[in-house]
Structure 1
């Protein structure tokens, strides 16, 4: 197994997660209105921070991989962990609510519902764990 191939592949997948999160949530209602009782909205500012941190982190990580600079990689790694945390906060909107008037969770399909979000953001946490391993063990 070539570490750099896996690292580049996971970097590309991280870019896809940032992009899809922006595309999927960028055009929806974000202030909580338009949802039934017990349905959670999310902050538009949180989505903007997710996108901004994602782009900056991705650029820094690519520079670190291309140059082999561990210092840049550690800074980018902090960005990856922040990005994963923000993604999990965005994912929290799918948590069920036990309110008396809350709606049932909608059926999930590949492009809508929680399935794609869970896959992307939990996968991102696993990928960032891998990036941490690669950085700490000097396998950039």
Structure 2
């Protein structure tokens, strides 16, 4: 197994953490930030994340001559990863400063005192998806 493959497997495992922690952090009251995250966006993030993890993992472990390990599975997995990344970036919008006379102050949550954890997770996901795309295009995985 090459070092590129190891990086892809580790980033895939970290994807599980991002999807699960985002769901846990935003359930109920919506977590910290200045804006409320819509339920549909959170559901899109979770659904795309779970589907991406399942399809991408099948693509990684299935033989390349099978349907589950073929190019179609890889492309579908990448598309789901990109959908997850876009939904994650949209979730980060809740931390943007609001302006105006009636703007409310930012809400804090018990996970952190600011957007650091969300930034790390979702910008890291974008970087991870770029690595997945690079690895797929270069036939590393």
TM-score (norm 1): 0.85
Other-structure match for 1:12: 13
Asked if residue 48 in structure 1 is aligned to residue 43 in structure 2, the reply is: yes
Q: Which of residues 39, 47, 51 in structure 1 aligns to 2:34?
A: 39
- Mind listing any 5+ residue stretches in structure 2 that lack a counterpart? 65-69
- The aligned residue for residue 67 of structure 2 is none
> Contact 1:70 / 1:135 at 8 angstroms: preserved in 2?
no
5+ long unaligned stretches in structure 1: none
8 Å CA contact 2:34–2:105 kept in 1: the answer is no
**Is contact 1:61-1:72 (8 Å) kept?**
yes
TM-score, reference length from structure 2:
0.84
RMSD: 2.4
What residue number does 1:119 align with?
Answer: 120
Distance in 2 (alpha carbons) for counterparts of 1:130 and 1:29: 30
Contact 1:80 1:128 in 2 (8 A): yes
